[in-house]
Amino acid sequence: MNFIDLQAQYRAYQGEIDAAIAEVTASARFIGGPNIEALEERLATFVGVKHAVGVGSGTQALIIPLMAWGIGPGDEVITSPFTFIASAEVIALLGAKPVFVDIRADDFNLDVDQLEAAITPRTKAIMPVSLYGQCADMDAINAIARHHGIPVIEDACQSFGGLYKGRRSCGLAQAGATSFFPAKPLGAFGDGGMLFTDDATLAGKARMIKEHGQTARYQHGLLGLNGRLDALQAAVLRVKMDHFEDEIQARQKVAGVYQQGLTGIPGITLPMVHPDRMSVYAQFTIRVRERQAIQERLTAADIPTAVHYPAPLHRQPVFAHLGLAPGSFPVAEQAAGEVLSLPMHPFLDEADQQRIIAVIREAAD
Ligand SMILES: *Cc1c(COP(=O)(O)O)cnc(C)c1O
């Protein structure tokens, strides 16, 4: 059994994917070109924003807007302590300070009630993370940010395709950043990412930054980097996008089977999705009081699991200098000790799911 079955997905679309790759190979246009433009247009329409800028990874989709906003030393950016390292890493890479706000216990996303208290005159942006595929409470976050005149960037690296009050993730703030890392809901055959915005100035700057700050050929107006999405990835993503909405539906079905099969087990809390949202279930993550025991039983039954994430970011050695002791963010810390992600992908069959459910039920007895 696979945690995420990318081979099954490839087999399902193999003819289309191989043809798309062969076309790029024959054209020898590996950087830029029609596949990038077509993908950007397609995803901008899907998300419902004016501009989509293809970049080399989700990490680049996060750092480029911060660069465009001129964030640097002396500035603070607020984010979640319970996320992948990249969210806070990009802030620190620019010399700014990541300021953490604890998460909610039910949806693992930023606790909006604690947000206002973390804002200082040095706060230059807020970066909520839409964890496991469910959007953070973006309207409430936007309202607070607007009041302070600071921009919001949604770290939507796990939530591309998710819905918040009928609107798509990535299109809910000044900037939305997603990742096409192979295991993400919309995954490439390597690294890739995309930045979404309605702001023409931000989009224009992002296009320059991802090309080494180039304003015209070999003219460099600002500091940038090599941040491009490549054409082979764009070609693969265009094929996968043809099937993406069906895959989202398949993910809902898989989640439904888990929800039904795992309900009412003492010591296990199932994922909660707010009624105004739809999760794309980048992960199906349960909370388990006796995590180690359950995880060992699953491993013994050849069922792969993962912990997203075993340590909150303020407890990572790289951020030790922030001086945030254990207990600084108790909800994130407790979550790090209890979360367990189960196999989740659109091709997971029900027999495998029933086996996973049975092993968990037995182990929890
Ligand atoms: C995957 C991920 C990223 C980074 O994306 P890459 O494409 O791997 O650079 C950032 N934030 C979150 C929450 C992620 O899950």
Q: Is 86 in the pocket of ligand 1 (CB under 6 A)?
A: yes
Give me the residues paired with residue 284 across strands. Answer: 342
Can you read off the two tokens belonging to residue 44? 């901008």
Tally of CB atoms within 10 A around 30: 13
Confidence of residue 365 (pLDDT cuts 50, 70, 90): confident
Q: Is 84 in the pocket of ligand 1 (CB under 6 A)?
A: yes
How far, in Å, from the CA of 83 to the mean position of ligand 1?
9
Average pLDDT across the chain, whole number: 98
How far, in Å, from the CA of 84 to the mean position of ligand 1?
6
Q: Is 59 in the pocket of ligand 1 (CB under 6 A)?
A: yes
**pLDDT tens-digit profile of 313-339?**
999 999 999 999 999 999 999 999 999
Counting ligand 1 atoms within 8 A of each CB, the residue from 4, 59, 178, 233 with the most, and so the one to mutate, is: 59
Give pLDDT, residue 151.
98
Can you read off the two tokens belonging to residue 231? 């054409």
Q: Determine the 3-state secondary structure of 216 from DSSP.
A: strand
Can you read off the two tokens belonging to residue 340? 């367990």
Q: Is 100 in the pocket of ligand 1 (CB under 6 A)?
A: no
| Mean pLDDT, range 60-68, rounded to an integer | 98
Closest CA to 132 of 276, 354, 340: 340
**Quick check: 259 pLDDT over 90?**
yes
How far, in Å, from the CA of 86 to the mean position of ligand 1?
6
Q: Is 155 in the pocket of ligand 1 (CB under 6 A)?
A: yes
**pLDDT tens-digit profile of 12-52?**
999 999 999 999 999 999 999 999 999 999 999 999 999 99
Q: Determine the 3-state secondary structure of 51 from DSSP.
A: strand
Q: Is 179 in the pocket of ligand 1 (CB under 6 A)?
A: yes
**pLDDT tens-digit profile of 127-137?**
999 999 999 99
In this structure, what are the phi and psi dihedrals at residue 196, rounded to the nearest 5 degrees?
-120, 140
Cα–Cα distance list, 286 to 4, 150, 157, 250, 272 (Å): 16, 34, 20, 19, 9
Q: What does the radius of gyration of the chain's CA atoms come to, in whole angstroms?
A: 20
How far, in Å, from the CA of 363 to the mean position of ligand 1?
32
Distance CA 287, CA 164 (A): 23
CA atoms in the 13 A half-sphere facing the CB of 254? 25
How far, in Å, from the CA of 193 to the mean position of ligand 1?
9
Beta pairing, strands 175-179 & 153-155: parallel
Can you read off the two tokens belonging to residue 292? 């180690």
The model's pTM? 0.98
How far, in Å, from the CA of 218 to the mean position of ligand 1?
31
